[in-house]
Amino acid sequence: MSLQPSHFTTLTLYAFFASIVFGITMRETPRKMLHYGIYCFVLFVGSAILLSWLMYFIAR
């Protein structure tokens, strides 16, 4: 039995780690780092969901 994560799980993990890196490298204070990281995470996941629905309707 092999464990294969779904596309959404992989996207969420990528968004999580990329948001950490973006938050640390793009802002100066810990509070701003946290807010920017959350902002990036929401944009990553939200845009992926929006684009997936868009592709779903285009393909039909």
Averages of pLDDT over each 10 residues, the chain, 60 residues = 87 97 96 97 97 93
The parent domain of residue 46 ranges over 7-59
Whether 26 is in a domain gets the answer yes
Helix axes 7-26, 30-59, angle to 10 degrees: 150
Whether 16 is in a domain gets the answer yes
Whether 20 is in a domain gets the answer yes
Report the number of distinct structural domains present in the chain: 1
Whether 1 is in a domain gets the answer no
- Say how many C-beta atoms besides its own lie within 10 A of residue 39's C-beta: 13
**Predicted pLDDT at 52:** 94
* 16 closest CA partner among 48, 38, 46: 38
